[in-house]
A and B are shown apart, each in its own frame.
Chain A
Amino acid sequence: VLARCRQGDPGAFRAFVAYYERLVFMVISRLAGRGPHVEDLSQETFLRAARALRSFDPQGPAKPSSWLLTIATRLTLDARRRRRVPLEPFTDTEEFAAPGTPETERSHRELGRAIERAAAALPDDQRAVFVLAELHGLTMSEIAGTLETPEATVKTRLFRARERLRAALAPYWKDAKEP
């Protein structure tokens, strides 16, 4: 598919987007919060990827997903620096207005909101490292390359992010599962 995308095949690129759109939406939502800006940033991410397809080497060390996450992360952080996007979690009233929700679903959503609020309280650079490392499994070196930051700095940011989230999510904290 990537080869056809590099040749300018719209159909192949549409398949590429469909395959990775959820990933991009996810990382942007968690870096910049939910809202209409997610779709805008996601679209811009794929458009930049399309323009950069010719320079992307499928045989190289970077996977397409990592490559897209790099683009999305840089784009989102840049937008955040330029104050083009908000980072304000939805209120409970909006989220749980519907009556009759099953209990498990309700608790799941409450947890999600808690995570969201805790992440929103993190600085952008710590949140980015946390999201990339914890949710998308990027290595320290990959994150360092993505954020163009030294690996040591990445580790420090990740450490602090985990500490703050553990404190913030203490009511939901559970012991590690048995392997």
Chain B
Amino acid sequence: MTEPEHVGDHVPLHAWPFETPPPGFAARVAALAFPRRSPGPAWVRWTVFAAAVTALVAWFVARRDRIAVEGEVDASGERTSVAIGSRGVAVLEPGARVSWRDGRVRQERGEVFYRVDPVRGWRLLPPVPFLVETPAGTVRVLGTCFRVRIEDQQAIIDDLEGRVEAQGGGTAVVLTPGESTVLDPMSPPASQPGATRRTGPIGEVDERLRWLQRERRELERREAELRRRESEVKRSAELGREGAPATGGGAASNRSRFDLTREDWVELARTGSVRFCVPNPAADWTKLTDLGLSPGDAETLDAAYARSRLRMAESLAPQCPEFADGGAPSIMRLILCAQSVVTDAQRTGDNLFADMRRQVAEIRAGLRPMPDPVDSISPAMRVLLSVTAESDALVRDLEANLGPEQARKIVYRDRGCAWSGGWGH
């Protein structure tokens, strides 16, 4: 085999076309062959990136409550809510005004409710204290709900949740939930128990209850004042009676107000008044020993009270048409009849009835003679004469067996009257 000649010796092979490198080919290939040196493996780069992000977030969280925020609000017409810093909310009642910078609040006037979220978790930097400055002092808080009300240069602090420290007058007091204090430039603060205040409908109910409690305390105070005055009046009256025992128209301290003497009736006649006690025959004599009696006295009492009821029936029944057919009406029916008669007389004319009262009082005082049974007197007059006479009649009936003192004690005992009262002044 003869070796062929070189083709290139007979044909210009350089005419064989070929692709030429594009511009920048070398640089592009070099960049692909030797990319920029990375700081390390992918996991190292991601770890560094995650650490950087974590550090950034931690720094922001640490600085979050230190970011300078400031502003002011004047709640002139309506309740206003405003965020203070990153963890505070203030609700201003109408008329309140606050201004703040960072966590330092200046409350100049009005009532403001504060809610401050507590500082939680680990922090790179110490938290900024939340302070409320008032003309009377400063309130320092680290997470709580409280209310500050400024009145007459005083600041009333109500702690509703958490703890707050009220500073004023060179001293400080720590309030716990439900306590309150008053910051006064002239006196140091002191914690006082107060009602825990809540918001919303429950808070409104609480507020209403507090108002009722205040009203109750005021009424109790007034009641105590009135009792004090009453006791003073009674003491004065007793002193006066000791000096002039026959006057005044009232009973002595150990006497029933219906156990009337002649002098009492004189006084009542002067004022045109009468008082009476219709004895109660339906008495329970099981406790005779309490009245200083023996069981054997029960029969005497029963008989005397039976006679008393008969006397009442004889005098009152003729005044009542329903008893015209006779019989033995009960004491209560007699009393009802008497009340209706008197009521009719009062309706007829007040002056006429007043004259009746005065005449009856004068009769009982001995200033006027007892009218004759046949005299023409009104039913009301007869009722008044009957009811004002019976208790004394019963006393006289009992005196024979029990003595005057015991008789009066029994007749005018508590609940000893089936009907008692008076008319006039």
Q: Which of A10, A112, A175 contacts B15 (CB 8 A)?
A: A112
Q: Are A165 and B7 in contact (CB under 8 A)?
A: yes
Q: Are B3 and A14 in contact (CB under 8 A)?
A: no
Q: Which of A50, A134, A174 contacts B33 (CB 8 A)?
A: A50
Residues of chain B within 8 A (CB-CB) of A18 are 26
Q: Is A35 an interface residue (CB 8 A)?
A: yes
Q: Are B15 and A39 in contact (CB under 8 A)?
A: no
User: CA separation between A29 and B4, bound complex, in Å?
Assistant: 25
User: CA separation between A10 and B9, bound complex, in Å?
Assistant: 41
Chain A facing B: main interface SS: helix
Q: Are B10 and A38 in contact (CB under 8 A)?
A: no
Interface string of B1-19 (1 = CB under 8 A from A): 1011111111111011111
* Size class of the A contact interface (CB-based, 8 Å): 35 or more
* Size class of the B contact interface (CB-based, 8 Å): 20 to 34
In the complex with contacts A13-B34, A50-B33, A115-B13, A29-B19 CB distance below 8 A: yes
Residues of chain A within 8 A (CB-CB) of B29 are 13-14, 17, 43, 46-47
Q: Are A21 and B26 in contact (CB under 8 A)?
A: yes
Interface string of A109-132 (1 = CB under 8 A from B): 101110110010000000000100
Q: Are B17 and A29 in contact (CB under 8 A)?
A: yes
Q: Are B33 and A25 in contact (CB under 8 A)?
A: no
Q: Is B38 an interface residue (CB 8 A)?
A: no
Q: Are B34 and A50 in contact (CB under 8 A)?
A: yes
Q: Is B186 an interface residue (CB 8 A)?
A: no
In the complex with contacts A13-B33, A134-B6, A176-B10, A29-B26 CB distance below 8 A: no
Residues of chain A within 8 A (CB-CB) of B32 are 43, 47
Q: Is B22 an interface residue (CB 8 A)?
A: yes
Residues of chain B within 8 A (CB-CB) of A42 are 21, 25
Sample of 13 A–B contacts (CB below 8 Å): A13-B33, A14-B29, A14-B30, A22-B21, A29-B19, A35-B19, A43-B28, A115-B15, A119-B16, A135-B16, A159-B3, A169-B7, A172-B11
